[in-house]
């Protein structure tokens, strides 16, 4: 058994869907499926019951789950102990992030960084991407995870990943019967969207303004789960990054593709202040190391 298989197993048990679990692990769906199959072959047991809508652990999978979680936890602690022994950093690191970025899972990242560098005092702020970028430019934050490429000026930017935009609609909405919509289909529709400080709101406003299409933002929110609830209750439709459509709260909603040739990607980046605390680079190095580990594991599965 390998640690990457434990990561895939735990993600699939938690998310109960291959697409969402692959997104959490940062690998392709085929790579995650291959890892799960290899684990099942090694253990000689089926670990999941698969259906068209969800995946759930078998009795064997349920029994295995706590041990898989413990293996991942012990592995992370072992790596972090080595880093602590060789790199005793101190200071204060001010970090900000927009909610539910998908590309990077901030709370576990902060936990790992704290274990590696316990002498660094972490201060965390959650806000919209444009507010965070302004705070980094002003020197109030050292590093921020944002979902915008606008108004960043000369800030150091490290792109972390991209997601497609999709349309969410209630199951009984006329648009829910199709797999793809045109921009004209959205003319004069009522929307649920985020405050202007969120990166996706700026992206949505620009999309419609560029095409001369009128939309009415009926409800403005500051929380992804509230947005999904309002769409589910029929108060409007919403354009969101692909990973938001994979949330459990969106299970009853229709996910509809937007025109592929004219819809930009939603881009997540880390931006760093010019006078940031030096420990910010160690945070970025941790992110990069995790990314390279996932890519190497996926490549190994592909090549056999």
Q: Are 7 and 26 in contact (CB under 8 A)?
A: no
- 259: which 2 tokens? 């025109």
Burial of 53 (0-12, 13-18, 19+ CB in 10 A): exposed
- Decide yes or no: CATH 3.40.1390.10 for domain 165-264: no
CA–CA separation, 93 and 283 (whole Å) = 10
> According to the model, what pLDDT value does residue 151 have?
79
> According to the model, what pLDDT value does residue 19 have?
82
Sign, CA dihedral 99-22-262-231, equals: negative
Judged by DSSP in three states, 95 sits in strand
Q: Are 63 and 46 in contact (CB under 8 A)?
A: no
Give the start-to-end residue ranges of the domains of the chain.
3-83, 87-162+267-292, 165-264
- Positions of the chain with pLDDT under 70: 24, 79-90, 294-304
- 177: which 2 tokens? 């019967």
Task: Please give the CATH architecture assigned to the domain spanning 87-162+267-292.
Answer: 3-Layer(aba) Sandwich (3.40)
Sequence-distant (≥ 6) Cβ neighbours of residue 57 within 8 angstroms:
13, 47, 48, 49, 64, 65
- 90: which 2 tokens? 């101190």
- H/E stretch holding 206 reads helix 199-210
> According to the model, what pLDDT value does residue 84 have?
57
Residues forming beta bridges with residue 217, ordered by sequence position: 191
Residues forming beta bridges with residue 120, ordered by sequence position: 91
> According to the model, what pLDDT value does residue 111 have?
92
CA distances from 108 to 105, 112, 114, 191 (A): 6, 6, 10, 32
- 203: which 2 tokens? 């992206």
CA–CA separation, 105 and 115 (whole Å) = 16
Cα-flanking dihedrals φ and ψ of residue 302, to 5°? -65, -45
> According to the model, what pLDDT value does residue 154 have?
76
> According to the model, what pLDDT value does residue 115 have?
87
Q: Long-range contacts of range 200-207, CB-CB < 8 Å, 24 or more positions apart? A: 200/147, 200/165, 200/239, 200/240, 200/241, 200/266, 202/130, 202/148, 202/150, 203/148, 203/165, 203/264, 203/266, 204/239, 207/239, 207/263, 207/264
- In this chain, the answer to whether the domains covering 3-83 and 165-264 adopt an identical fold is no
- Determine the CATH number of domain 3-83: 1.10.10.10
Q: Which of 105, 27, 107, 120 is nearest to 5 (CA)?
A: 27
Residues 10-26 have pLDDT tens digits of: 888 888 888 878 876 77
Task: Give the angle 76-80-84 at the CA atoms, nearest 5°.
Answer: 170
CA–CA separation, 28 and 185 (whole Å) = 31
């Amino acid at each position: 058994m390998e640690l990457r298989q434990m990561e895939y197993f735990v993600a699939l048990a938690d998310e109960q869907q291959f697409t969402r679990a692959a997104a959490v692990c940062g690998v392709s769906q085929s790579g995650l499926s291959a890892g799960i199959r290899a684990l099942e072959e090694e253990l000689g047991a089926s670990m999941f019951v698969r259906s068209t809508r969800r995946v759930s652990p078998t009795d064997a999978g349920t029994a295995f789950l706590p041990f898989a979680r413990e293996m991942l936890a012990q592995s992370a602690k072992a790596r972090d102990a080595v880093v602590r022994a060789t790199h005793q950093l101190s200071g204060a690191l001010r970090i900000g992030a927009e909610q539910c970025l998908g590309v990077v899972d901030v709370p576990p990242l902060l936990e790992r960084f704290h274990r590696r560098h316990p002498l660094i005092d972490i201060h965390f702020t959650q806000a919209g991407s444009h507010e965070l970028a302004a705070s980094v430019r002003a020197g109030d934050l050292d590093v921020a995870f944002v979902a915008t490429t606008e108004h960043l000026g000369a800030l150091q930017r490290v792109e972390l990943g991209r997601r497609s935009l999709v349309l969410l609609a209630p199951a009984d909405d006329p648009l829910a019967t199709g797999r793809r919509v045109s921009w004209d289909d959205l003319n004069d529709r009522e929307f649920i969207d985020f405050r202007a400080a969120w990166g996706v709101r700026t992206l949505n406003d620009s999309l419609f303004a560029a095409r001369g299409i009128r939309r009415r933002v009926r409800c403005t929110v500051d929380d992804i789960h509230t947005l999904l609830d309002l769409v589910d209750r029929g108060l409007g439709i919403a354009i969101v990054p692909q990973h938001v459509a994979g949330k459990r709260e969106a299970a009853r909603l229709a996910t509809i593709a937007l025109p592929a040739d004219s819809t930009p990607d939603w881009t997540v980046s880390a931006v760093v202040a010019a006078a940031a605390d030096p420990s910010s680079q160690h945070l970025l190095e941790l992110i990069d190391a995790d990314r390279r580990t996932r890519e190497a594991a996926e490549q190994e599965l592909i090549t056999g």
